[in-house]
Amino acid sequence: MYEWSETDLMIREAVRGFIDKEIRPNLDALESGEMPPYPIIRRLFAEFGIDTMAADGVEKMLATQRARESGTDSGGAGGGAGSGDGGGSGSGGGLEGQDSLMAVVISELSGACMGLVSALGVSIGLGATTIMSRGTLAQKERWLPGIVTMEKVASWAITEPDSGSDAFGGMRTYVRRDGDDYILNGRKTFITNGPHADVMIVYAKLDEGAAAGADGTDAVAARRDRKVLTFVLEKGMDGLTQSAPFKKMGLHSSPTGELFFDDVRLGRDRLLGETEEHRGGDGRESAKSSFTAERIGVATMALGIIEECHRLCVDYSRERTLWGQEIGRFQLIQLKLAKMEVARMNVRNMVFNSIERARAGKPLSLAEASAMKLYSSEAATDVAMDAVQLFGGNGYMAEYRVEQLARDAKSLMIYAGSNEIQVTHIAKGLLGR
């Protein structure tokens, strides 16, 4: 794949029309928090039929799994209700096969209001996908239809105040068994959609009592290695508190907050897979697969930032005059534009490569996705800061929007795992560790 298809380009023009009609007039309200992102996302889904496609895709997947589990399909009886992998290995949300379409939508939206993409991507790309890949048939039927259509908003809660990049080792949120139930205690932070989420995917360590291993393992090490389980919570549960949105440097249109758990009682029906011994590994494994998809998504978001900065700067270089001529005639301005074009080409080619690899059944590894995220986030931030500089004093003013793009771009170097931790994942992939 070296360019968008004709269908992709038609979708792109339609999305741009939606952005001009629905998003740009509301940017100030979205940035101030006066308007939440979810009504606009739902209008986008309705206008482009994404909600219908997603609902149909999920229902077909569920019907296939029902047939397999009842032994009525040609493949014979599948695994039991707890197998949790029926049709769930795709990209999530019932939109498998629409990879380039979604890449177009994500990149275009990111160039206008990246917070919308963050809110959408976490709800479906992380929330729905985790349920789809690890949930039982009953759990998928219970939660997926509402999430994939954005009727319900999902969050994905793994990060804690003392365990950012050390997500699993430093995790302190825990559950303990209480008869057939679990009792959840702890706190999650920097949770996208957290303040408004209807459904929350929460990772917690299983506290089985003894801190040290039977062989005398150090107590701290034993706590780090405890099993991680994944639960689904819903708004309004006793003991669950959702904070107000944080004030942030960027991504103002994406509500971010904290979740607090105080003796939240969870039935086994809320444990994804309904078993502690999931054949795909514990919660660490499901999170790692989500990390890969999330980091590829960051590159697509970065592409949107780069392309919008590129467009604004080219137009401004033609219109703005200094010393009697267009500033685009000055070599230093040309250098900035040239570097933006190189970044645009590189990141776009990375996105195209990831789409082709997925279509060929050879998806990127975690290390490759980390490399993609590392480069694209740095490129987007550099381009956005150069855009502010090219606009001069105007670039520092919110009216010209490159200021917003610069603030949003910086989040990509922290979002989905800081760039410093990406270096570690890339090196481990190279060294085979």
Q: Where would I find the beta strands (DSSP E) of 162-276?
A: 174-178, 181-192, 199-206, 228-234, 240-242, 256-266
The yes-or-no answer on residue 294 being catalytic is: yes
Largest Cα separation within the chain, whole Å, is 80
Q: How far is CA 200 from CA 8, 36, 193, 232, in A?
A: 33, 18, 9, 6
CA atoms within 13 A on the CB side of 16: 9
How far is the C-alpha of 14 from the C-alpha of 20, rounded, in Å?
10
Residue of 294, 308, 368, 403 marked catalytic: 294
Indicate the Cα dihedral angle 383, 386, 387, 391, nearest 10°: 180
CB of 400 closer than 8 Å to CB of 320: no
How far is the C-alpha of 135 from the C-alpha of 84, rounded, in Å?
5
Q: Going by C-beta distance under 8 Å and a sequence separation of 6 or more, which residues neighbour residue 43?
A: 22
Residue located via tokens 């490129």: 379
User: Minimal CA–CA distance to 63: which of 130, 133, 99, 55?
Assistant: 55
Q: What amino acid positions are annotated as catalytic residues?
A: 294
